[in-house]
Amino acid sequence: MVTDTPLEAELRALAGSVPDPELPVVTLSELGVLRDLHVLGPGRVEVELTPTYSGCPAIEAMSSDIERVLHDHGIPEVEVRTVLSPPWTTDAISAEGRRKLAEFGVAPPRPTPSGPVALRLAIRCPHCGSTDTTLLSRFSSTACKALRRCESCREPFDHFKEL
Amino acid sequence: MSSPSTAAALALGDDALVLSHRLGEWAGHAPVLEEDVALANIALDLLGQARLLLSLVGDEDELAYLREERAFRNTQLVEQERGDFAHTIARQLYFSTYQALLYGQLADGMGPLAPIAAKAAKEVAYHRDHAEHWTLRLGDGTPESHDRMQRGLDALWRYTGELFEPVDGLEVDTAALREGWQAGITDVIERATLTVPTGPRRGGWSAGGGRRGIHTEVFGRMLAEMQHLHRSHPGATW
């Protein structure tokens, strides 16, 4: 990061501003999946991207979206590499990303448990703010979300699961 | 970092690929819509793990779609038919408990599979949570659900010994996982008011051999379905 050139910083911001294909309210940078960007030579850029889940089908759409914005910015050669280590965690989602998720109706993830005993904070309904919510299914429309229902306003909602 | 052992990557990758296919068979058939979605999501996690593991040692599509039955290195447990919902949950409990221990140890090591294992271990924790929840609900549910859950646990028991056989090139002592596995499944099964099976898991009557390419009859039929599109229409895209 310390060796970033102004061009790298500019291109990184550009790649990071690409919206997530499944949750378009958050950007790849806010989601914390854009790991690095290097300018390898004139017109040659390498981008490091990490998947949220091993089988996340969105990673291919993310790669082609990044390639497209960088091509449009005059970089003809873009290689997007997938990196696994260290594994992505929901803690990598920025504060702004969490705010946008909640506004979109998806309860943001809680901090991942750090001790041996998982601390179970209440999950807040993104519609009415009540903490009286019930788990309906551990897996929702995508692997990264669980389906819950608010017992106060009775609305179902997605919760971005801690990973 | 050393290069990955082909035998180890195939064993783990094939387990994930084959179980992913068996879980995918539930799409449109699960008892409730939420479970349709849950099982498909678990299948997708496993498919992602399989793609990462197989890609380490070859072309993922060639390995998945063009190998013959005898070249697959998955355990016989994962290739068994999906059965009823309780049968599927019994397998999920046995397998996710094993996978959580295996990936946990691999992730702690420095080997070539460590980054994949570290990622997968977090996903498998949710698979195990799902299996535990359903084992409790079915076991401690109606007499019908209790009986079916017990039948699933009993029927698959003889396939569990193979999980702890050594795998060439894998930096984990698989035999040493058995104790933690037994403790893990026993805790859930007993809380579900069910009985831990006691039949043989090794020896003459028990199953095994998947890691050496010896598979059960049902696996050939599963492969025919999984591979036929790729083989009948090479290079097809849509």
Task: Give residue A121's pLDDT.
Answer: 76
Q: Are A14 and A70 in contact (CB under 8 A)?
A: yes
Task: Give residue B226's pLDDT.
Answer: 97
CA A53, CA A27: separation in Å to the nearest integer? Answer: 17
Please name the helix (run of DSSP H) or strand (run of DSSP E) that holds residue A133, with its range, or none: strand A133-137
Domain assignment present for B207:
no
CA B81, CA B204: separation in Å to the nearest integer? Answer: 22
Q: Are B93 and B135 in contact (CB under 8 A)?
A: yes
Opening angle at CA B97, ends B95 and B103, nearest 5: 95
Q: Calculate what percentage of chain A has a pLDDT beyond 90.
A: 81
Q: Chain A interface, mutation test: which of B53, B116, B119, B127, most A Cβ atoms within 10 Å? A: B119
Judge whether residue A131 has pLDDT over 80: yes
Provide the CATH number for the domain around residue B124.
1.20.1260.10
Judge whether residue A67 has pLDDT over 90: yes
Number of domains chain B contains: 1
Q: Which residues of chain B have pLDDT under 70?
A: 1-2, 201-206
Domain assignment present for B114:
yes
pLDDT in tens, A10-45: 999 999 999 999 999 999 999 999 999 999 999 999
Inter-chain CB proximity A55 and B48 less than 8 Å: yes
pLDDT in tens, A132-151: 999 998 888 888 899 999 99
Task: Give residue B210's pLDDT.
Answer: 94
Domain assignment present for B226:
yes
Domain assignment present for B237:
no
Domains in chain A, ordered, with CATH? 6-82 (3.30.300.130), 93-160 (no CATH)
Task: Give residue B5's pLDDT.
Answer: 92
Task: Give residue A63's pLDDT.
Answer: 97
CA A16, CA A14: separation in Å to the nearest integer? Answer: 5
Q: Give A139's contacts in chain B (Cβ within 8 Å).
A: 34, 37-38, 40-42, 126, 130
Please tell me chain B's helix, strand, coil percentages from 3-state DSSP, rounded to the nearest 5.
Answer: 70, 0, 30
Shortest CA gap A102–chain B (Å): 22
Please tell me the total number of residues recorded for chain A in this structure.
Answer: 163
Helical residues (DSSP H) of B67-208, grouped into ranges: 76-79, 85-108, 114-139, 143-157, 178-191
Q: Give A86's contacts in chain B (Cβ within 8 Å).
A: 118
pLDDT in tens, A77-112: 999 999 999 999 999 999 999 999 999 999 999 988
Residue A52: closest CA among chain B residues belongs to which residue?
B119
Domain assignment present for B1:
no
Domain assignment present for B62:
yes
Q: Give B44's contacts in chain A (Cβ within 8 Å).
A: 53, 55, 57, 143
Domain assignment present for B216:
yes
**Is beta strand A145-150 parallel, antiparallel or unpaired with respect to A156-160?**
antiparallel
Judge whether residue A119 has pLDDT over 70: no
What ipTM was estimated for this complex?
0.87
Q: Give B119's contacts in chain A (Cβ within 8 Å).
A: 51, 54, 84, 87-88
Task: Give residue A57's pLDDT.
Answer: 86
Is B120 near chain A, with CB under 8 Å? yes
Pick from B48, B114, B130: CB nearest A56:
B48
CA A31, CA B101: separation in Å to the nearest integer? Answer: 29
Q: Calculate what percentage of chain A has a pLDDT beyond 70.
A: 94
Task: Give residue B208's pLDDT.
Answer: 79
Task: Give residue A138's pLDDT.
Answer: 87
Confidence category of residue A117, pLDDT binned at 50, 70, 90: low
Q: Phi-psi bin for B218: left (phi > 0), alpha (psi -120 to 50), beta?
A: alpha
| Domain that residue B68 falls in | 6-202+212-232
Domain assignment present for B238:
no
Inter-chain CB proximity B118 and A88 less than 8 Å: no
